[in-house]
Structure 1
Amino acid sequence: MIKYRVKGNFLSDNNKVQNINSDFFEKHNNPFKARNKAVQYFRNFIELLLIDFKADFDKIFQQKNSIEIDGNILEYVSKYGLSLEYTFDEVQFHLIDFCGEIDADTYDNIAIGLESELEYYNKHSFEYKNSQKITYCNQGEWIEGFTEDEPNTFEILETTTKFEDKSKPYWWLSLDEKKNLLKSIIQDAQIEKSLIVGENSFTEYKPALLYNFKTKKASIGVKNVIAKVICSFLNSNGGKLYIGINDNGEIQGLDYDFSLKNKEDEFDFFRIEFDNMLFQFFDKSVYHFIKADFNFDYEKPFFLVSVKPSDNPVFLVNHKDGQKEFYIRTTTSSIKINDLQEVVKYCISHWNNRNSDSA
């Protein structure tokens, strides 16, 4: 048999926490009448609270506290609220309404509770009134990937909880979080496309940052190859370098590079070696145009280096003779321009065109 109750806590006028736990509302032959009594009790209680506190929710459901830890004063907020719940066994309770500061998890719990409640009414042919249909996107299912392509539409009984603006995916995110999510989705799509299309003027694959597959040891020559690709992207139109992916576009991971570490964390080891490579071949001005980190979205991690086009010509330092080299990107490779006159001609043409495009 279904039973209803109101439970929760709030702050009294002397800022003390008051707990409420009503008796069960139940009626074997007509549970909808028991529900109505519970709903009325829930709403009457809230109305009385709002009268006493002049509709100031912060005074009722939020309490600012502070605690001293190691001489530092830390402030935090305790949150309270009133719940309307039902149960079948007085052990597990299901939320169908709430008054207080509602977060995304609470919306999920209310939606699930309301959906299963009406399923119970329909299963046992109990009469009810004032039902409505809602379309709701469940945060928990959506982010875990267990949902269908579209949010779920279902029928519920009356509740004060509003679902009108909760029908679209990611409604629970702030504007900044949505922007970051959009960037992530676009980046994932670009990665998928790059792995399918293969190497081109904007994409390069390299199997390792350090590991020489002939000597089976670390090699400055391998880093030099990586640096040439980055240099060519900087001097052209930018691009993406995937380290840990072979020439066939297969993700082989970074185990070969990781095998060269000592006792340090393998990912920290790799990041340090990448930064050292930039120090070895470039001046510090290139850091502004390079963003790099691991991607863990596939079976094996790889290292993605995103390079923006530089505002000025970038030269690579050849450690064999200390000479500076100039690289540009062609359709599928990075090439060095040796002739000084050709370098000057390219720089004038490339950066004049870029400046005129951005004007």
Structure 2
Amino acid sequence: MTYSSGSLINQKKWILLFHFIIGAIIGVLLLHPLTTMVFWYEYKGLIEFPGNSPIEFLIQRLITEFKFELMPMSFVFALLGGIVGLLFGLYHIRLSGQKNLVRSLEHELAEELPLLIARGESEHLEFKSTYRWDVRQQRTNRALESIVIKTIAGFLNREGGTLLIGVEDNGNIIGIDSDFQTLKHKNRDGFERALMDTVKTSLGGNACALLHCRFHDIENKTICRVIVESAVEPVYYHEDSVARLMVRTGNSTRELDAREAHAYLSSRTTKSFSL
């Protein structure tokens, strides 16, 4: 569904008007009585109020607040409530705009995904058939998870990149529906949760903040796109109490030996100081 600029402006005006009216009603029926209660407690020993209790006084004010002599005060509270309602309305419009922008960007990502796959793997793009489902043995193979996590670590330690899970090395799309069946929650949320849990365990909690999962449907199959940012500090892959340094080189990910790791860390330190 598309909207013209005029219809969008009118829609925003109605949203703001609605929030103003609701705010004004709340101001009169809630804010005014609450202020009255505070006033009663503060001055009950100095001023004679109608009623013997704050509740009686509150009821009396609710009954009389629409009388002519109290209309100016009711109008003030209606205006205050309306202003607060407008602020909430502006926040609602801004939040809706951000959600629409995210949907638009995800739609654009989905449209260009086939072109991305057609280019093939590169330094910033990697394909993985599945996350933990062994296609050859037709069973769950948790060892496959380590391959995925090592690839993510390699991207983190270089310039970032994109990992497509559900795509074979030759670009053939097989999807991750078989992976869903290995999860406790057999859906996209369950897949993302399982992936993030493994990343947290193997790479540390800070790495999770640098990953962004998006799901796309192509040829009636679900693909998980993992967008990986570049990490400021080196990220180590922990396996059997051993910390391994994985780096993306060309279109593959490999572990650096001691000499290479030292040179790599030295180069990162030099870059940090130069910045």
Query: Which residue number in structure 1 is paired with residue 119 of structure 2?
Result: 197
Shift of 1:272: 2.6
C-alpha distance in 1, partners of 2:215/2:269? 31
When the two chains are superposed, the root-mean-square deviation of aligned CA atoms in Å is: 3.3
Between structure 1 and structure 2, the one with the greater Rg is 1
C-alpha distance in 1, partners of 2:113/2:226? 12
Code of the aligned partner of 1:219: N
C-alpha distance in 1, partners of 2:231/2:171? 27
1:258 pairs with 2:180? yes
RCO greater where, 1 or 2, for CA within 8 Å and sep 6 or more?
2
Code of the aligned partner of 1:268: D
Task: Report if aligned partners of 2:200, 2:207 keep a CA contact under 8 Å in 1.
Answer: no
Query: Which residue number in structure 2 is paired with residue 323 of structure 1?
Result: 242
Shift of 1:213: 2.7
C-alpha distance in 2, partners of 1:274/1:181? 23
Shift of 1:277: 1.3
1:238 pairs with 2:160? yes
3-state DSSP of counterpart to 2:221: coil
Moved over 6 A (4+): 65-68
Structure 1's 176 and 312: CA in aligned 2 closer, same or farther, altered over 3 A? same
TM-score by length of 1: 0.47
Task: Report if aligned partners of 1:312, 1:351 keep a CA contact under 8 Å in 2.
Answer: no
Structure 1's 194 and 353: CA in aligned 2 closer, same or farther, altered over 3 A? farther
1:347 pairs with 2:265? yes
5+ residue gaps, structure 1, are: 1-57, 74-173
5+ residue gaps, structure 2, are: 1-16, 31-95
C-alpha distance in 2, partners of 1:316/1:196? 30
Shift of 1:190: 5.1
C-alpha distance in 2, partners of 1:189/1:350? 36
Considering fraction of residues, name the structure with more helix: 2
Considering fraction of residues, name the structure with more strand: 1
Q: How does 1:263-282 map to 2 (within 5 A)?
A: 264-282=185-203
C-alpha distance in 1, partners of 2:25/2:210? 44
Code of the aligned partner of 2:127: Y
C-alpha distance in 1, partners of 2:105/2:251? 26
1:299 pairs with 2:217? no
Shift of 1:199: 0.4
C-alpha distance in 2, partners of 1:241/1:355? 30
3-state DSSP of counterpart to 1:201: coil
Task: Report if aligned partners of 1:311, 1:351 keep a CA contact under 8 Å in 2.
Answer: no
Structure 1's 186 and 259: CA in aligned 2 closer, same or farther, altered over 3 A? closer
C-alpha distance in 2, partners of 1:258/1:178? 28
Query: Which residue number in structure 2 is paired with residue 337 of structure 1?
Result: 256
C-alpha distance in 1, partners of 2:25/2:139? 54
C-alpha distance in 2, partners of 1:315/1:181? 34
C-alpha distance in 2, partners of 1:223/1:217? 13
Task: Report if aligned partners of 2:180, 2:186 keep a CA contact under 8 Å in 1.
Answer: no
TM-score by length of 2: 0.60
Residues 138-194 of structure 1: per-residue CA shift (max 9 Å, x gap): xxxxxxxxxxxxxxxxxxxxxxxxxxxxxxxxxxxx864675466446534653332
3-state DSSP of counterpart to 1:327: strand
C-alpha distance in 2, partners of 1:229/1:293? 17
Code of the aligned partner of 1:202: H
Structure 1's 308 and 355: CA in aligned 2 closer, same or farther, altered over 3 A? farther
C-alpha distance in 1, partners of 2:130/2:242? 25
Code of the aligned partner of 1:343: A
Structure 1's 186 and 279: CA in aligned 2 closer, same or farther, altered over 3 A? same
Code of the aligned partner of 1:337: L
